[in-house]
């Protein structure tokens, strides 16, 4: 009888962020497809939700004894998904994930840094810590080349670092009937060929404050006047509801918004009903790529810029350095509507490559497990 391998996934889960939940959902699905007997546990802010939603074991991520117990019971620990190793949010967040990795190694566990984003890590002490801890893990895969550059700049010189792609590129969506049903439940009309999805997030570091909200609203007004149906799609629930409503409040034309919480698979299905996605949120852009929906990305972070380049899709401006230009956004959006096949053909080729790269994470994980 084959031994059951116990995996522990440590990521930013149970906080209502659809992107991070999509990563976990895709990871669990892909890992379960591996040809071995597995038991999966995930750390979560809401263990009951995570356990029910993904049919995995789950422990409270802030319960030190529970986390220590989960590490002790595991064979392999995955520091998995998203930009976990960074101090842009806080040093506390960075230390949390590093401490899990360090504890796992001290207890003799195999550790894989799984499709991580790295950086920014600005504090000198933090950079030394990241270098020390990551030099000791068994395997590192990164979701973008930018992270590899950040890792090298920190001083991690390993030759076995592999750049893959975000696990969400392998996510499966609900069927079209369910997606269309959600539109109906929320009283949002579907006008085929004229649907514009808009996904925004609050961003206090934008150079000109919330001016980007005003400019996006103006572009949405212009598109609505050209016969397009504008729908705001919150990705982090309930946090994105307020900023999404702010866009609508700054518009003079009619716009709609999804107001309930949906699973990553449901949101992926909703994105598939749009003809254009305008987004600040990285995972909305990734969802659009999966569903072959052309996109315009509003850059607030290097990871958004990176994936726009990888997918060869246009940007709608960069809030880090300048004011958005609503006329430019409208013009680029209309170019998509006037030449949809050009954008879709280009996007499909790039998204297929990303999907294949994302699957490399699990091949590398399988090799790690089989080494024993």
- What is the CATH classification number for the domain harbouring 203? 3.40.50.2000
Q: Are 313 and 203 in the same domain?
A: yes
Q: Would 159 be classed as within a structural domain? A: yes
Q: Are 186 and 331 in the same domain?
A: yes
Distances (CA, A) of 174 to 181, 252, 274, 355: 11, 33, 15, 18
Phi-psi region of 112 (alpha: psi -120 to 50; beta: other; left: phi over 0): beta
Query: What residues make up the domain containing 279?
Result: 176-353
Q: Which two tokens stand for residue 363?
A: 């091949």
Q: Would 362 be classed as within a structural domain? A: no
Last residue of a domain, one of 100, 131, 163: 163
Q: Are 326 and 220 in the same domain?
A: yes
Q: Which two tokens stand for residue 321?
A: 């350095």
Distances (CA, A) of 113 to 24, 35, 312: 14, 21, 27
Q: Are 95 and 193 in the same domain?
A: no
Q: Would 288 be classed as within a structural domain? A: yes
Q: Are 78 and 188 in the same domain?
A: no
Q: Are 214 and 332 in the same domain?
A: yes
> Does a cis peptide bond (omega within 30 degrees of 0) precede residue 3?
no
- Round to whole Å and give the CA distance between 183 and 194: 15
Q: Are 264 and 124 in the same domain?
A: no
- Per-residue confidence of the chain (372 residues) as pLDDT tens digits? 468 999 999 999 999 999 999 999 999 999 999 999 999 999 999 999 999 999 999 999 999 999 999 999 999 999 988 889 999 888 999 999 999 999 999 999 999 999 999 988 999 999 999 999 999 999 999 999 999 999 999 999 888 999 999 999 999 999 999 999 999 999 999 999 999 999 999 999 999 999 999 999 999 999 999 999 999 999 999 999 999 999 999 999 999 999 999 999 999 999 999 999 999 999 999 999 999 999 999 999 989 999 999 999 999 999 999 999 999 999 999 999 999 999 999 999 999 999 999 999 999 999 999 987
Q: Are 257 and 127 in the same domain?
A: no
Contact 295, 271 (CB under 8 A): no
Q: Are 238 and 317 in the same domain?
A: yes
Q: Are 30 and 154 in the same domain?
A: yes
* pLDDT value of position 290: 98
**Longest Cα pair distance anywhere in the chain, in angstroms?**
66
pTM of the model: 0.96
Q: Which two tokens stand for residue 151?
A: 């890792």
Q: Which two tokens stand for residue 73?
A: 């019971």
Q: Would 370 be classed as within a structural domain? A: no
Last residue of a domain, one of 97, 131, 163: 163
Q: Are 128 and 216 in the same domain?
A: no
Q: Are 132 and 250 in the same domain?
A: no
* pLDDT value of position 1: 47
β-bridge mates for residue 113, sequence order: 79, 140
Q: Would 100 be classed as within a structural domain? A: yes
Q: Would 371 be classed as within a structural domain? A: no
Q: Would 294 be classed as within a structural domain? A: yes
* pLDDT value of position 242: 98
Number of structural domains found in the chain:
2
Q: Would 358 be classed as within a structural domain? A: no
């Amino acid at each position: 009888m084959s031994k059951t391998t116990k995996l522990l996934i440590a990521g930013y889960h149970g906080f209502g962020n659809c992107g991070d939940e999509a990563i976990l959902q895709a990871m669990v699905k892909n890992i379960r497809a591996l040809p071995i007997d597995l038991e999966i546990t995930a750390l979560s802010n809401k263990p009951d939700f995570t356990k029910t939603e993904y049919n995995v074991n789950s422990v409270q991520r802030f319960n030190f004894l529970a986390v220590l117990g989960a590490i002790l019971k595991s064979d392999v620990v995955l520091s998995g998904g998203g930009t976990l190793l960074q101090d842009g949010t806080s040093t506390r967040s960075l230390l949390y994930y590093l401490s899990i990795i360090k504890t796992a190694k001290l207890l003799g566990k195999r550790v894989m840094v799984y499709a991580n984003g790295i950086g920014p890590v600005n504090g000198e002490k933090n950079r030394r810590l990241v270098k020390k801890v990551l030099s000791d893990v068994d395997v590192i895969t990164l979701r973008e080349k930018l992270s590899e550059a950040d890792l090298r700049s920190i001083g991690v010189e390993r030759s076995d670092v592999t750049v893959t792609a975000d696990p969400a590129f392998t996510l499966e969506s609900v069927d079209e009937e369910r997606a269309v049903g959600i539109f109906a439940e929320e009283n949002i009309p579907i006008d085929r060929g004229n649907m514009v999805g808009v996904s925004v997030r609050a961003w206090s570091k934008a150079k000109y404050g919330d001016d980007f909200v005003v400019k996006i609203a103006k572009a949405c007004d212009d598109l609505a006047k050209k016969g397009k149906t504008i729908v705001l799609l919150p990705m982090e629930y309930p946090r994105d509801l307020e900023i999404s409503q702010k866009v609508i409040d700054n518009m003079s034309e009619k716009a709609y918004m999804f107001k309930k919480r949906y699973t990553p698979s449901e949101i992926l299905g909703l994105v598939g009903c749009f003809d254009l996605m305008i987004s600040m949120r990285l995972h909305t852009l990734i969802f659009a790529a999966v569903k072959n929906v052309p996109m315009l990305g509003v850059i607030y972070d290097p990871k958004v810029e990176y994936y726009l380049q990888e997918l060869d899709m246009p940007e709608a401006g960069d809030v880090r350095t300048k004011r958005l230009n609503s006329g430019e956004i409208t013009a680029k959006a209309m170019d998509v509507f006037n030449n949809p096949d050009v954008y879709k053909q280009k996007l499909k080729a790039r998204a297929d490559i990303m999907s294949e790269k994302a699957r490399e994470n699990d091949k590398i994980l399988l090799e790690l497990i089989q080494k024993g």
